[in-house]
Amino acid sequence: MNRYPRDMIGYGANPPDAQWPGGAKIAVQIVLNYEEGGENNILHGDAASEAFLSEIVGAAAWNGQRHWNMESIYEYGSRAGFWRLYRLLSDVPVTVYGVATALARSPEQVAAMKLAPWEIASHGLKWIEYKDHSEADECADMEEAIRLHTEVVGQPPRGWYTGRCSVNTVRLAAETGQFAYVADSYADDLPYWMEFGRRDQLIVPYTLDCNDMRFATAQGFNAGDQFFDYLKSSFDALYREGQEGAPKMMSVGLHCRLIGRPGRIEALRHFLEYAGAHEDVWFATRAEIADHWANVHPHKHRKRPSEMDQKMFVEMYGGIFEHTAWVAERAFALELGPAHDTAKGLHNAMARAFRSGSDKERMAVLTAHPDLAGKLAQARRLTKESTSEQASAGLDALTDAERETFEKANAAYTKKFGFPFIIAVRDHDKASILKQFENRLHNDKAAEFATACRQVERIAEFRLMDVLP
């Protein structure tokens, strides 16, 4: 099957109501990445020194060598930055993304984390890049991270975030069955579910924009005020959406060695004061958000068009274009994905297949449609879909005079164009249908063929809306 695995639609135009506790308009989630002591270093068995997220502009990895300056920058995070942040955040719900080997090298910091209302989630075994790791090696590191984390912290992690992940990371984390949530996604402002075989995995997306890492990247923040302004604007936009009935989640990503510097931490302090001054703001750990979402929005399984085999797909949707199987067969052959698992998405694929058909093939679809209020309707021999559609416009309860009017209109139309009058009756009532009869009788055959095909597509859209979200 030609299938596209990425989900480009998500919740679409109508995201669910988060129903945050207490009617909160926004959920604010603070993440503290604890990576110091888990970064690339030949002391840790790595091939080279670290080169990512430091004060050194244009840093490069040193193969086979220790990088003293880089090491000391990371050490600042554990020695000074962590404690500065701890004093500011010790009463705030925080999720720590803890690299297991870094936590093992920082027992005093771990003890402090456990005294605060903080969650300690797993940030992997080491703070290294996994894009080139084999699936088996990444899986082994994940298992060891869980084991070491449990040993150091005293309980297993409920959340996972690799960060420098591979295409396999989220699936591997889900397959452990360990995690209430996985955070290796930046795809939404709300949690969402993914299916991996029998495992339903909740994803609680993270952020790279409301993140102090941009103090150490090109086109990033070069002063604390810029960080505060960006956090404030993000909060304002999401808070407004919450007031309008669409509450969201705001993640703020922090690093001890970055925001923990004196020249930056005041920006974080100002943001916490600003957000805290608003009513209906829920500061929460990611585990609390995950538990809330799983309770209020549990995962619902359904048959998804993009995951069906051809036989099931054609059985389910072969009748959408008036029981013309070739439309469904050709739609199945397209590049389908999660975006086609909704009524609008699948309609787009089926309409593409229909439009690509020859004039003869499309004419066969038109002639397969019954007359409006015709003899088949009177004999109650319409399909269930057609019966329901005609009834929606009152065509199942015509007076004798109205029936005669429709019969004459049908005869005149069919005589001129060679196919039945087709209209999406759910868009009309009896009077407007008769008006359309009158207007469309003046079209030439080519124009009316195009009009009828558009109406076939509209009917199909309504039918898909009856069976898909």
Q: Indicate the angle between helix axes 325-332 and 343-355, nearest 10 degrees.
A: 110
Q: For residue 355, give both structure tokens.
A: 């439009």
d(CA 96, CA 89): 12
d(CA 177, CA 98): 19
Annotation says 369 is catalytic = yes
Asked if residue 314 lies in contact with residue 329, where contact means CB atoms within 8 angstroms, the answer is yes
Q: Which residues of 2-14 are buried (b: 16+ CB within 10 A; e: fewer)?
A: eeeeeeeeeeeee
Strands (E), 41-126: 94-98, 118-122
- Residues 6 or more apart whose Cβ sits within 8 Å of residue 280: 22, 23, 24, 25, 26, 242
Among left, alpha and beta (phi > 0; psi -120 to 50; other), residue 427 is: alpha
d(CA 73, CA 36): 9
Query: Smallest Cα–Cα separation from 99: which of 130, 132, 135?
Result: 130
Q: Which DSSP string do the residues of 12-60 spell out, in sequence order?
A: TTSPPP---GGG-SEEEEEEEEE-TTSBS-GGGT-SB---SSSSSTT--
Query: Smallest Cα–Cα separation from 397: which of 373, 375, 370, 431?
Result: 373
Task: Outline where 161-285 has alpha helix (H).
Answer: 169-175, 224-243, 262-276
Candidate list 299, 369, 428, 442, residue with the active-site label: 369
CA angle 28, 261, 65 (to 5 degrees): 110
Q: Which helix (H) or strand (E) holds 455?
A: helix 445-467
CA angle 163, 169, 175 (to 5 degrees): 135
DSSP state of 133: S
3-state secondary structure of 327: helix
- Residues 6 or more apart whose Cβ sits within 8 Å of residue 364: 324
Catalytic residues: 369
